[in-house]
Amino acid sequence: MRLSPGDLGETVDLDRVDLWDPRLYSDGDPHAVWRALRAKDPVHMQELADGRRFWSVVRYADVCRVLRDHAFFTSERGTLLSALDVGDPAGGKMMAATDPPRHTALRESLNRVLSARAVEARRDVLLQPVDRLLEPLLAGRSTDLATAAMDFPMDFIGTFMGLPADDWPRLAKLTTMAIAPHDQDFQEGSSQLTLVTAHHELFEYFSRQLSARGGTPTDDLIGHLMRTRIDGRPLDHETIVYNCYSLILGANVTTPHTITGLVQALMDNPAAHRKAAADPSLVAGCIEEGLRWSSPASHFMRYATQDVELSGHRIEAGSALAAWLGSANRDEDVFADPYVFDIERRPNRHVAFGFGPHYCVGGALARISLRMLFERIFARIERFEPAGEVRHLASNFVAGVKSMPVRAVLRPRP
């Protein structure tokens, strides 16, 4: 999607807003829509052709409240628009679709193996995919950065989960099919069949992986889930499978699209590239601004558990709400000059990883892998140059790029 509105003064017809349509994110300008909604209709009702309805929440404060307050807004009925009003069989089992206190117990278990300290301890292993991604660029060849970036997080999560490397390419495609079933480049049949195929294959794959372990926990993330106990009881087979699916989906949603969004921002703002290359202390801030700027996860769904008021609107119990992270990260009341890419932005309280109890459990892994990658980039690459057309993903969940051919101009060797 376009990461900033082309014309800050353009008029948006709020009666024709369609935040459901995946084509808005591949061909349109959702940031212009969100900006208009923040100003005039911050809690916006949309009804689909089949009668289903959902509220769009677009201001930072409201997004944070919806994601934080599980007593009023539950995640157990589904967390994505693709499952609007159809229920979620993973509710209460998959961490992302579970409310505290069970969610807290699952999260604390996974935090022990995905904390910043645990990830840093495996730095040498994690540098290998960094080098693989950069190899063609450092060799002087143009490459489709979006394609390479989609494979990048599989190196990390595949290693952490103990999955065979030969399976990684298909797993990466299946996760994209799951979050972008309307994108023709990833479809296998109709959009609905694509979604069903992706879910079926991923669940079956992890079920087989778990069964192959024969009840003996291995020294990886799957083995860790096998050893996890909640209230003294082990997780059942289905719960482990659901959480394996959630972990791989989360890894493949944020990192690749932050890479392409950040590289595009650096091409559009060459002074920022030069500044970060000259001062390594700015790399961490550059990553944070890249996360705010790209906001790869566009929304998370919640359902009201009781009647509640939000920005002057009465939300009835049972209503679906989409909290738009991409809009919150451009909220003028929170971010000064939100449409300016600023690697020295302070403070930068973005919600790219969510907010509240469901803050991304893999956030440390994503941050560290991105930092390692861009430290290498700023040390070796003077600038990126476009080498072809940029094409965006048709998805109302992920703000992503599916094709970005680039070449690198290398820094002179000292």
Q: pLDDT tens digit string along 302-358? A: 999 999 999 999 999 999 999 999 999 999 999 999 999 999 999 999 999 999 999
pLDDT tier, 88 (very low <50, low <70, confident <90, very high otherwise): confident
Residue 204 maps to a domain: yes
Residue 60 maps to a domain: yes
Closest CA to 254 of 115, 355, 360: 360
Residue 239 maps to a domain: yes
**Total structural domains within the chain:** 1
Pair of tokens at residue 161: 């989960």
Q: Pairing between strand 381-386 and 320-324?
A: unpaired
Q: Alpha-carbon distance 393 to 355, whole Å? A: 24
Q: Alpha-carbon distance 251 to 298, whole Å? A: 15
Closest CA to 172 of 265, 279, 248: 248
Residue 355 maps to a domain: yes
Residue 9 maps to a domain: no
Give the end-to-end CA distance of the chain in Å, rounded to a whole number. Answer: 39
Residue 233 maps to a domain: yes
pLDDT tier, 119 (very low <50, low <70, confident <90, very high otherwise): confident
pLDDT tier, 1 (very low <50, low <70, confident <90, very high otherwise): confident
CATH number, domain with residue 203: 1.10.630.10
Give the structural domain span for 97: 14-410
Q: Alpha-carbon distance 225 to 209, whole Å? A: 13
What CA–CA distances, in Å, run from 324 to 29, 36, 195, 235, 397? Answer: 14, 13, 22, 32, 9
Residue 6 maps to a domain: no
The residues facing 313 across adjacent strands are 310
- Please identify which residue in the block is written with the tokens 């201001």: 59
Averaged pLDDT for residues 17-44: 95
The Cα diameter of the chain in Å comes to: 65
Per-residue confidence (pLDDT) for residue 156, from 0 to 100: 84
- Please identify which residue in the block is written with the tokens 């119990």: 317
Residue 338 maps to a domain: yes
Residue pair 155/132 in contact by the 8 Å Cβ criterion: yes
State pLDDT tens for residues 237-264.
999 999 999 999 998 888 999 999 999 9
